[in-house]
């Protein structure tokens, strides 16, 4: 994996996983880069305002983000004041908001029936109230065809559209929401109406100068950003060395985490993994193989670890823990890790159903984030012992990289068993 040897910048600075992305949405300082202009496309996105507007405000937002919601009133006032401004919406659902993706899908499902902005406005009015039941209620209030709407909610093509928006956000270094590009000028986070008015005035002058060259107002945006900075995927992580000593023995409590193997095993192998990580799947496969060789002496424990570029990892981790609450963690976890495509809400429901999980209890846990705190606590506990990426293994408290070969892992396990058996 590309992140197997680094820790995220947010973690290196001592922040909780995920805060790195939300903090970016809170900083009014250095709101714009004084010189840079970015070539952010508006094609294919939802647009509010006149097609002839000279100033285009491109927003990357998240329906479950309170900071995105708090900017909504300011944007509406800005559009109401000036016919020369239009708003372009791009989805950027953040991993720490489990229902953000569902909300983005709901808005696009409404768009298929010509009601995008009506659904958008209702979703963004109360980020804390978003769940599947609320979304279906909003669809009924808007008079949508519910069969078509629910079909679009589970559509792979709708998911693909949102993923393309999220990829575009990453390509322009968007690490939190909301982020705006005003005729290509980047604006970070919550800003005042006065700030936007001032920036729009300056950009209007630039756009009018471009339009005076004989092009239409509709083409002014392309003219303004023609020589701007194009998409260049900004790093969302940094390569730094962990300060944890791999020779140390760390006290890592098993707690209530899922366990496979005998409670009195001589060797406890704790795996910090990520359900979006093929390397985590390989690490669990190797751990399983070692446990099969030493069934009386080895037990395996799973703990969750992921970073902000894994947008669906929080929901997947919660799904696994919801299955654990019903005693079905391992079949659900192994089924999730075996998948080679992204797992969305309906996919997780299907996995749970095949694993014999009570689907109504499982759905309730996902819809109400019942295991979010437990997952966050595991991530914090991992950080405390030097785990900043997945997979990472602890063999009786000795930390090793999850990419160790099966033979090396087995050799280490045998040595541990022998040392405990020795007088």
- Name the nearest CA neighbour of 421 among 267, 263, 260: 267
- pLDDT bracket for residue 356 (50, 70, 90): very high
Note whether 154 and 346 are within 8 A (CB). Answer: yes
Assess whether pLDDT exceeds 80 at residue 12: no
Q: What is the pLDDT of residues 46-67, one digit of tens each?
A: 999 998 899 999 999 999 999 9
Query: 19: buried, middle or exposed (CB in 10 Å: 19+, 13-18, 0-12)?
Result: middle
Q: What 3-state class would DSSP assign to 256?
A: coil
Q: Which element (helix H / strand E) includes 111?
A: helix 100-111
Could you give the domains of the chain?
9-225 (3.40.30.10), 259-421 (3.40.30.10)
- Residues 375-414 as b or e (16 or more Cβ within 10 Å = b): bbebbebbbebbbbbbbbbbbbeebbebbbeeeebbebbe
Give the whole-angstrom CA distance, residue 100 versus residue 273.
23
pLDDT reported for residue 317: 95
Q: What is the pLDDT of residues 158-211, one digit of tens each?
A: 888 888 888 888 788 787 789 999 999 999 888 999 999 999 999 999 898 888
The mean predicted confidence, pLDDT, of the chain is 83
Give the whole-angstrom CA distance, residue 219 versus residue 216.
5
pTM score: 0.53
Query: 20: buried, middle or exposed (CB in 10 Å: 19+, 13-18, 0-12)?
Result: buried
Residues present in the chain in total: 423
- For the record, the structure tokens of 257 come out as 């985490």
- pLDDT bracket for residue 422 (50, 70, 90): low
């Amino acid at each position: 994996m590309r992140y197997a040897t680094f820790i995220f910048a947010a973690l290196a600075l001592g922040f909780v996983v995920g805060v790195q992305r939300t903090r970016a949405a809170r900083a009014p300082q250095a709101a714009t880069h004084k010189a840079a202009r970015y070539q952010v496309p508006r094609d294919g996105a939802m647009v509010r305002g006149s097609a002839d507007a000279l100033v285009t405000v491109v927003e990357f937002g998240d329906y479950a983000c309170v900071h995105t919601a708090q900017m909504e009133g300011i944007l509406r006032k800005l559009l109401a004041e000036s016919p020369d401004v239009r708003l372009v919406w791009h989805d950027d659902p953040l991993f720490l908001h489990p229902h953000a993706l569902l909300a983005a899908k709901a808005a696009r499902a409404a768009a298929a029936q010509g009601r995008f902005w009506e659904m958008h406005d209702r979703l963004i009015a109360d980020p804390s109230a978003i769940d599947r039941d609320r979304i279906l209620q909003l669809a009924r209030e808007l008079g949508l065809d519910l069969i078509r709407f629910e079909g679009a909610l589970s559509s792979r093509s709708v998911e693909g559209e949102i993923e393309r928006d999220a990829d575009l956000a990453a390509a322009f270094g968007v690490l939190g929401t909301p982020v705006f590009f005003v005729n290509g000028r980047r604006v970070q986070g919550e800003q005042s109406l006065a700030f936007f008015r001032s920036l729009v005035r300056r950009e209007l002058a630039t756009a009018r100068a471009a339009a005076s060259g004989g092009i239409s107002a509709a083409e002014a945006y392309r003219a303004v950003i023609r020589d701007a900075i194009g998409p260049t995927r900004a790093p969302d992580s940094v390569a730094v060395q962990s300060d944890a000593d791999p020779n140390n023995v760390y006290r890592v409590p098993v707690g209530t985490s899922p366990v496979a193997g005998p409670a009195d095993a001589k060797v406890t192998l704790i795996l910090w993994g990520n359900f979006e990580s093929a390397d985590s799947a390989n690490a669990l496969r190797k751990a399983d193989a070692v446990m099969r060789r030493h069934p009386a002496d080895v037990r395996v424990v799973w703990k969750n670890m992921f970073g902000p570029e894994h947008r669906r990892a929080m929901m997947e981790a919660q799904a696994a823990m919801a299955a654990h609450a019903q005693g079905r963690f391992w079949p659900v976890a192994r089924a999730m890790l075996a998948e080679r495509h992204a797992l969305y809400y309906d996919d997780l429901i299907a996995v749970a159903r095949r694993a014999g999980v009570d689907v109504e209890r499982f759905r309730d846990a996902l819809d109400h984030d019942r295991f979010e705190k437990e997952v966050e606590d595991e991530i914090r506990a991992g950080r405390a012992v030097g785990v900043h990426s997945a997979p990472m293994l602890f063999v009786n408290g000795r930390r090793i990289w999850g990419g160790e070969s099966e033979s090396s892992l087995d050799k280490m396990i045998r040595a541990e068993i022998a040392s405990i058996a020795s007088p």
